[in-house]
Amino acid sequence: MNSNDRTNRISPDSSNWIITRRVFLRASGVSVAGAGLSQVSCAVKPSMKNRRGTCRFGIVADCHYADADTRNGRYYRQSLEKLAECVELMNAEKIDFLVELGDFKDENAKPVEKKTITHLRKIEQVFQEFTGPTYHVLGNHDMDSISKEQFLSNVENTWIDPTRSYYSFDSKGFHFVVLDANYSSDGADYDHGNFDWTDANIPKHELNWLAEDLAAARRPVIAFVHQLLDGKGGHYVKNAADVRAIFESSGKVLGVFQGHRHSGSYSRTEGIHYYTLKAVVEGSGPENNSYTIVEVLSRGDIIVSGYRRAESKRLAPAEV
């Protein structure tokens, strides 16, 4: 990771934090040397309250949890504790819902389907400690060793048909869309590791569904996807331009939240914000965690409050 990947480790504006057992945040650049998560106790005092006409939700990405040894800077086992810290903070902040942006679990160096399902169930158990609605975005590693059906049958997407890998829902005056780009160029589902991770596509039937869903939406839209939609290359959806065209023609999409590229990124295209969240799995220790609270205001502003390594941004709406 280069120097450009370093980010502010800050709490939300006007925050008033008390360190907890898990939520040991380096707020506003202040660090507490030598304090481990097991050494602190007390409770979090929520720092933000929902304002009228706003929606506040949490996002976390690329946990890659597996009971597996560290490889290439990915600390697979630590993702349980990192996600637990995230969930505790989200509960304290009383956000409206929590989304994970894909690559929720991983697999062992020698893949075994049964073990992979065990990894998925363990990380989902931590995720379900969140006391509100939860939603999953499929990532390519979620189909390592297992199928989409197996993944979806072991997680909970609140009030969503458990067979759906892409779907939408409404919350607090906004419409939210979850996309699945885990299809090969020939339209085949990613399945048991039989795919090329650089060949991510959103097939015609999903594009048609997206266009119809956005046409019917009566509220401003936020979209979630694992692979990136704001460019070209190995980390991007191959037909991303087709997806962006649907977003742009609808005139309703405010922003898109993505995972997959572990170093994170941000861009703005045709007035739509594309925010890529840094990965949980990269780096050892709580200081290398990454998650955000996103507040969408009634006038279209989006406030992204980053924790640990996650970037904070205020995203202004497109000019009329």
Is 307 a domain residue?
Answer: yes
Q: Assess if residue 44 is contained within a domain.
A: no
| pLDDT tens profile 17-64 | 332 333 334 332 323 223 333 322 222 233 445 565 699 999 999 999
Residues with Cβ within 8 Å of residue 192, at least 6 apart in sequence = 113, 143, 144, 145, 146, 147
Any domain includes 19? no
Question: Domains in the chain: how many in total?
Answer: 1
Q: Is the confidence at residue 192, as pLDDT, over 70? A: yes
Which residue reads 């997206």 in tokens?
210
Counting residues of the chain whose pLDDT is more than 70, the rounded percentage is 83
- Can you give the pTM of this predicted structure? 0.86
Q: Give the domain range for residue 138.
A: 51-315
Average pLDDT of the residues in 133-143? 98
Give domain status of residue 18, yes or no: no
pLDDT over 50 (residue 238): yes
Q: If 0-12 CB within 10 Å is exposed, 13-18 middle and 19+ buried, where does residue 7 land? A: middle
pLDDT band at 298 (very low <50, low <70, confident <90, very high): confident
In a domain, 220, yes or no: yes
Structural domain includes residue 242: yes
| 132, part of any domain | yes
Give the contacts of 50 (CB within 8 A, at least 6 positions apart). Answer: 56, 94, 96, 172
**pLDDT score, position 65:** 98
The answer as to whether 17 is a domain residue is: no
* Residue 317: predicted pLDDT: 85
Question: Which domain CATH number covers 83?
Answer: 3.60.21.10
CB neighbour burial string for 207-238, b if at least 16 within 10 angstroms, e if fewer: bebbeebbeebeebbbbbbbbbbbeeeebbbb
